[in-house]
Amino acid sequence: MLKTGTFRYYPFNEKVLNLFDTTKAEEIHDKIIVSTVKALKADALITKDKNISRLKEVKTIWS
């Protein structure tokens, strides 16, 4: 993944933590994922996680 430049790693930081209240995700890991997508203002999230897809808070691909 590092060689392609397509993927980025992003730290769990205060910016992500502050976005926890903006998501309806119930599971802590889903909150981290959704909040990170929002913090990055990413175009979409690649995931098969149905719980995240059902939220419709971020655009998902491959769900």
Tokens of 54: 């059902």
Q: Are 33 and 18 in contact (CB under 8 A)?
A: no
User: Higher-confidence residue: 25 or 1?
Assistant: 25
Q: Which residues pair with 46 in a beta bridge?
A: 61
Enumerate the domain spans of the chain.
Answer: 14-61
Q: Which residue, chain included where needed, has tokens 């992003």?
A: 10
pLDDT digits (tens, 9 = 90+) for 7-63: 778 899 999 999 999 999 999 999 999 999 999 999 999 999 999 999 999 999 986
**CA-wise closest residue to 47 among 60, 31, 29:** 60
